Amino acid sequence: MLSVAEAQARALALAPKMPVVELDAAAAAGRYLASDLHARRTQPPADLSAMDGYAIVGDGPWTVIGESRAGAPFGSALIDGQAVRISTGAHMPAGADRVLIQENAERTGDHLRCTEDMPGRGKHVRTCGFDFSEGDLVLGAGSRIGAAQVALAITAGHSTLPVHEAPLVAVIDSGDELSVTPEDCAPHQIPASNGAMLTTLLARMGCRVERIGPVPDDRQALVDAFASAERADFVITSGGASVGDHDLIRPALEEWGASLDFWKVAMKPGKPLLIAQRENQLIFGLPGNPVSSFVTAFLFVLPSVRAAMGAAETLPRLVTLKAGCSLPAGGSRQEFIRGSWDGLSVTPADSQDSSALAALAASNCLIARGIDASPISAGEAVECYLLENG
């Protein structure tokens, strides 16, 4: 069996590279920059006031000779003893060297004096270019574009952004026991929830997702399902990846023309993970148990999708938290324990069964325990992955 790190490296190396498209900056949210982004302008473009008050020269008192407001700067230079009324974000007049804030100013007609806390030179002034200057690197290739990055790109002079196209992902549920309709589920069936769960994870990343199935435990039906996914960049199956008589994903993939890259990873849950390739398509055969399916998607599918979309950081980030209780020594497989972090410490969920959806839904992190990890006591540091479903 491969280690988790080895399997992740193999999966990332096989990820298809999506073509680059140019999108409106707001529409690019959730994508990753395809190339470095440099500023086309300087921000701020001039010295600006950081507060409402008066732009002044010298130590006062002063004579108020005009006003500077955002979008309508005062047009003349100031000399010692002069001031202009100024609003937050307005251009500092030439000659002005500080701002007397409104709260510390007393004005009678055009006469102005400071009542307390005389500002020092440069106080309450946003100097030209303090955020960035024309030509500066503002976002690196592979940066994820969120709301702040959209605002930064636009302010830096970019109305469109080069990003990688969102991949098309086919999600295939398989198993005779699956029911399409949760409200009409016979005693021998279970609702087909894995496909919806995986679709939610992928759609959150901006992927285009097509759901197929549920497909019965029939080799030809599976081959036909794979054939219907020929346009997809990624094919994700859930169920049928183990070694039972009705686990037919592997032979169906081989009949379809896919080549197996690896099968089985030294992890718990998620050992029977399968990865294959067909031309430029990357195929994941995830376990059918919902927790196993979620964990393997989190650790392998989503990083590979990020790689395809040009992300600089593909793997989920480990954080160090404080254990809320003792944890036993690790076993022969790397273990990912569902847990809850309350802001102070992290504790495992009561049930770690790979079918326990209630425990998964109540968890907001995975406690990562390495192979043969030493036992730890309450209060000691433990590595975790934070989840978005908590």
Q: What is the pLDDT of residues 6-17, one digit of tens each?
A: 999 999 999 999
pLDDT (tens digit per residue) in 305-351: 999 999 999 999 999 999 999 999 999 999 999 999 999 999 999 99
CATH of the domain at 66: 2.170.190.11
- On whether residue 346 sits in a domain, the answer given is yes
Q: How far apart are CA 380 and CA 327, in angstroms?
A: 10
| Bridge pairing between strands 365-369 and 281-286 | unpaired
Q: How many CB atoms are closer than 10 A to CB 79?
A: 10
Same domain, 179 and 142: no
Best CA proximity match to 385, nearest among 346, 331, 328, 352: 346
Query: What is the model's pLDDT at position 37?
Result: 98
What one-letter code names the amino acid at 333? R
β 208-215/137-139 pair status: unpaired
Whether residue 289 is found in the same domain as residue 173: yes
Does 24 share its domain with 56? no
User: Does 136 share its domain with 39?
Assistant: yes
Domain end (from 308, 329, 353) = 308
Residue 117 belongs to some domain of the structure: yes
Q: 313 in a domain, yes or no?
A: no
Residue 245 in any domain: the answer is: yes
Q: What CATH number is associated with residue 351?
A: 2.40.340.10
pLDDT at 186: 77
Q: Do 183 and 294 have their domain in common? A: yes
Full residue range of the structural domain in which residue 199 is found: 4-17+166-308
User: Where does a domain end: 96, 126, 156?
Assistant: 126
d(CA 160, CA 163): 9
- Residue 327 shares a structural domain with residue 372: yes
| 330/231 same-domain check | no
Q: Which of 284, 308, 332 is the last residue of a domain?
A: 308
Q: Is the residue at 260 inside a domain?
A: yes
Residue 245, pLDDT score: 47
Whether 152 and 171 map to the same domain: the answer is no
pTM of the model: 0.89
| Per-10-residue mean pLDDT, the chain, length 390 | 96 97 96 98 97 96 96 95 97 96 97 95 96 98 97 98 97 87 81 92 94 92 96 92 66 94 94 95 95 97 98 97 96 96 96 92 96 96 84
Judge whether 174 lies within some domain: yes
Decide: helix, strand or coil at residue 220.
helix
Residues 6+ apart with CB under 8 A from 369: 327, 330, 334, 335, 336, 337, 382
pLDDT of 390: 36
Residues 224 and 265 in one domain: yes
**209 and 153 within one domain:** no
Q: Are residues 151 and 208 in the same domain?
A: no
* Count of domains forming the chain: 4
User: Counting beta carbons within 10 angstroms of the beta carbon of residue 177, is it exposed (0 to 12), middle (13 to 18) or buried (19 or more)?
Assistant: middle
Q: Closest by alpha carbon to 141, among 37, 16, 27, 26?
A: 37
- Same domain? For 292 and 183 the reply is yes
Q: Is 95 part of any domain? A: yes
Q: The domain spanning residue 36 has which CATH number?
A: 3.90.105.10
Assess if residue 359 is contained within a domain.
Answer: yes
Quote the CA–CA distance of 215 and 124 in Å, as a whole number. Answer: 66
CB contact at 8 A, 206 and 192: no
Peptide bond into 375 cis (omega under 30): no
Q: What is the pLDDT of residue 188?
A: 84
